[in-house]
Amino acid sequence: MSNLRTLVFFATPAHDCSYLPDREATTMFVDPRAHIDKKLYSQLTALGFRRSGSHYYRPHCEQCNACIPVRLKVDEFVPDRNQRRVLNRNKDLECRLVPAAFTERYYRLYAHYIEERHQDGDMYPPSREQFTSFLVEGTTDSWFLEISDSDELIGLAAIDLLDDGLSAIYTVFSPEHEHRSLGTFAVLWQIEEARRRDLPHLYLGYWIKECKKMNYKTRYKPIEALQDGHWREMKTQ
């Protein structure tokens, strides 16, 4: 059984940064042969690691520390006016938590989302193998939040259950329902689910100040940032 003391880590060669232009990135990842159980995964997440399929990783760039792990303190969260509107707008939706697995129904929504919203990203073009390796393989206590309008699946959020919280892995939604702000709705749902389970945190991945598409994470307050090995509340405007 692996633990923090026995884990072996590797670093990738420098490669183009996916978020900041004209910068190179290096990623540290856990030896894929290690057995990562829920306890160890929770410890790694508290140290700033994320999961992508069977891979556990964190940025490890020599001259850049722009990628900051962030998490929300759910008990102290109070939705702002816009977030309350999102909740009210989606009162008619049905939400169901199911074990993470591959289905054609899930994949069609995922592929449609990537094709419409992220043609300029690393995940384009989508494939079934990509969906499986990203969201299904390597799962421990992992779930999909189905968001449905009547019988139509319009949103899907991948969520990991940790010892001290939930980890928001990825959310996709039907572009035709963009007016519902389903990305925001999925985060708000996970906040309430963490509260229901009496878990203190919702981990939101990395925040990069210079990356506009990550600005939404600072709208959830109070948000904590992992800097210099310590979680501290991050002051945002």
> Where are the alpha helices (H) located in the chain, listed in sequence order?
38-46, 81-89, 104-117, 128-135, 182-196
- Give the pLDDT confidence of 23-52 residue by residue, as tens digits: 999 999 999 999 999 999 999 999 999 999
C-beta separation of 64 from 209 below 8 A: no
Grade residue 123 by pLDDT with cuts at 50, 70 and 90: confident
Distance CA 90, CA 79 (A): 15
Amino acid at 12: T
Q: Is the peptide bond before 32 cis (omega within 30 degrees of 0)?
A: no
pLDDT score, position 130: 97
In the chain, % of residues over pLDDT 70: 98
Grade residue 237 by pLDDT with cuts at 50, 70 and 90: low
The Cα-based distances of 117 to 13, 50, 107, 126 in angstroms read 29, 23, 15, 12
The separation between CA 158 and the C-alpha centre of its own chain, rounded to angstroms, equals 7
Sequence ranges of the chain with CATH classification 3.40.630.30: 71-233
Grade residue 216 by pLDDT with cuts at 50, 70 and 90: very high
Q: Residue 170: left if φ>0, alpha if ψ -120 to 50, beta else—which one? A: beta
Grade residue 1 by pLDDT with cuts at 50, 70 and 90: low
One CATH from 2.60.40.10, 3.30.56.10, 3.40.630.30, 3.30.450.20 for 71-233? 3.40.630.30
Using the predicted structure, report yes or no on whether residue 207 has a pLDDT greater than 70. Answer: yes
The overall average pLDDT reported for the chain is 95
- Give the pLDDT confidence of 64-112 residue by residue, as tens digits: 999 999 999 999 999 999 999 999 999 999 999 999 999 999 999 999 9
pLDDT score, position 181: 97
pLDDT score, position 152: 97
* Closest CA relative to residue 55, chosen from 66, 64, 44, 63: 44
pTM > 0.85: yes
Grade residue 62 by pLDDT with cuts at 50, 70 and 90: confident
C-beta separation of 195 from 75 below 8 A: yes
Most confident of 121-125, 138-142, 229-233: 229-233
Using the predicted structure, report yes or no on whether residue 119 has a pLDDT greater than 80. Answer: no
Query: Is residue 21 packed enough to be buried (19+ CB in 10 Å), middle (13-18) or exposed (0-12)?
Result: exposed
